[in-house]
Amino acid sequence: MSLTKEVVLQRANAACKNTLMETLNIEVVDYGENFLTARMPVSPKVHQPDGVLHGGATAALAESVGSFASHIFTDTENLFVRGLEITANHLKSVKSGFVYAKATFIHKGRTTQLLDIRVTDEQENLISLCRLSTITLPKK
How many angstroms separate the CA atoms of 108 and 89, rounded?
Answer: 22
> To 10 degrees, what angle do helices 55-73 and 5-14 make?
130
DSSP state of 44: G
Query: 65 near 81, Cβ under 8 Å?
Result: no
Q: How far apart are CA 14 and CA 27, in angstroms?
A: 10
Task: Point out the catalytic residue in the list 6, 22, 63, 85.
Answer: 63
Cβ proximity of 70 and 7 under 8 Å: no
Name the amino acid, one letter, at 10.
Q
Has 122 been annotated as catalytic? no
- Residue numbers annotated as active site: 63
